[in-house]
Amino acid sequence: ITQADGSTIDGGSDNVILTAGDSLTLDQVQTSGAEIAITAQTGSVTAKDFITTSAAKIGITAAQNVGFDNEEADVVSTGSGEVEIIATAGNITQADGSTIDGGSDKVTLTAGDSQTLDQVKTAGADIVITAQNGSVTAKDFITTSNANIGITAAQNVTLFNDEADVTSSGSGDVTITATAGDLYQENDSTIDGGTGKVTLTAGKKVTLDQVQTTTAAIKVTAQGGDVVANDFIKTSDAAIEITGDNDVSFTNLLSDVTSSGTGAVTIIATKGDITQADGSTIDGGSDKVTLTAGDSQTLDQVKTTGADIVITAQTGSVTAKDFITTSGANIGITAAQNVTLFNDKADVTSTGSGDVSITATAGDLYQENDSTIDGGTGKVTLTAGKKVTLDQVQT
C-alpha cells in the first residue's frame, strides 16, 4: 500500500485498518474515537506524515522495519488509547522532530533489532521500549507522569545529546537496562524519576550525566565495567547505591553524589578504584556513607551528619585531597597499603562523640602540613604497618 504526499486516509469516526502482504508507505492517516491498525505482513511500514486518532488505540506492526521519516511523521492518540509499535525482525526509527504521543495511555515500542527514537511521550501511563537484539538510541525526550518508563536493550542504551532526557514526573519509576552493552548519557542529559526510583544497569560500562529523583532510591550497576559520573547524582530521604565491576569515577567538580536527609550512600568499585576529581562531593545527608574499593581510593570531599563514614581500600591505598567529616558518629578509614592526607585541606573530622580510626595495614600513614585529624569528644586511633607521619591531631 502506497500513499502519495498529501494523500489522506480518513476513517471519520470509525476504524482504519490497513494491511499489506509486503510493505506500506503512508502519508496522512486519521480517524476520531476509533482504532487505527496497520500491518505489513512481510515487509516494512514507512510513515511520511501523521497517523492520528483520539481515545482509541493505534497499532503498527511490521515484519521488518517501522520508520517515521521526517518531523511531520507523528503518531498521536489523544486521550485514552494506547500506541503500540512493533518492528518484528527489524528497527524502529524516528527522524528528528517526529513525535510518538500516547495521550494518556500506554506507549509500547518493540523492535527485533534496534531503536533510534526522537520524541516519545504520554501522561499518566507507562512507556515500555525494548530492543530485543540490538540497541536503543534516544535523540530527544522520553517522558511521562505518574507512571513508569522502562527501556531495555540487548546491547547498548545511548542518550545521544543534551535533549535526550528521560523523565517520569510524579510517582513513576525509571528503569534503563543495557543488558550486554554500555549505558551512555551525554552531557546535560537528565534522567529524572520524579518521586519514583531510578534503576540503571549495564552489562558493561555506565557513563552518566545528570541523574535525580525525589524521596526514592537510585541504583546504578555496571556489571562488567566502570561507572563514570560526569555530573550530579542526587535524591533526598532515600538511598543511593553505585556499583562498578571495575572503577567508579567522579570526573569533575559537578560530579556530586548527594542524598539529603535520611538515605545512605554506598559506592563499590569491586575490582578497581574509587576516584573523585577536585571539588567533587559525596554527601550522605544524615545517613551512612560507605565507600569500598577492591584496589585504591582517591577522594575529595566526603561528608555526612550524625552517621558513620566507612572507607575501605581492600588491596591498595587511600588518598584524601579534601575533608572527610561527620558529626556525632564514627569515621573509619582502612587501607591494605598506605593512607595519605595529601594536603592542608585533607582534614578528617568527627565533631561530637564519634571516634576516628585510620589504619594503613601494610604501609605508611602520612599527614601533610596543616592537615587536621580531629575526633571531637571521641577517640582517635592511628595505626600503620610501617611509618606514621603526623601533623595536627586532636580530640
61, part of any domain: no
Calculate the average pLDDT of the chain: 98
Average pLDDT score over residue span 161-184: 98
Question: What would the pLDDT profile of 191-228 be if each residue is shown by its tens digit?
Answer: 999 999 999 999 999 999 999 999 999 999 999 999 99
The reported pLDDT for the residue numbered 389 is: 98
The reported pLDDT for the residue numbered 179 is: 99
Question: What would the pLDDT profile of 86-103 be if each residue is shown by its tens digit?
Answer: 999 999 999 999 999 999
Question: What would the pLDDT profile of 336-347 be if each residue is shown by its tens digit?
Answer: 999 999 999 999
The reported pLDDT for the residue numbered 135 is: 99
Does residue 329 contact residue 304 with C-beta atoms inside 8 Å?
Answer: yes
Average pLDDT score over residue span 343-357: 96
250, part of any domain: yes
Q: Is the dihedral of CA 259, 357, 353, 280 positive or negative?
A: negative
Average pLDDT score over residue span 107-136: 99
The reported pLDDT for the residue numbered 328 is: 96
The reported pLDDT for the residue numbered 271 is: 98
322, part of any domain: yes
The reported pLDDT for the residue numbered 395 is: 96
Question: What would the pLDDT profile of 51-85 be if each residue is shown by its tens digit?
Answer: 999 999 999 999 999 999 999 999 999 999 999 99
Nearest by Cα to 51 from 7, 93, 89, 87: 7
338, part of any domain: yes
The reported pLDDT for the residue numbered 31 is: 98
Q: Beta strand 297-299 with 318-320: parallel, antiparallel or unpaired?
A: parallel
In the chain, the number of structural domains is 1
Domain holding 247, by residue range, is: 240-395
> What 8-state DSSP symbol labels residue 225?
S
Nearest by Cα to 317 from 333, 338, 331: 338
186, part of any domain: no
263, part of any domain: yes
- Beta-bridged to residue 2, according to DSSP, are 25
Question: What would the pLDDT profile of 244-280 be if each residue is shown by its tens digit?
Answer: 999 999 999 999 999 999 999 999 999 999 999 999 9
What band does 351 get if pLDDT is binned at 50, 70 and 90? very high
Average pLDDT score over residue span 287-294: 99
92, part of any domain: no
The reported pLDDT for the residue numbered 153 is: 99
36 vs 174: CA distance, rounded Å? 29
> What 8-state DSSP symbol labels residue 334?
E
285, part of any domain: yes
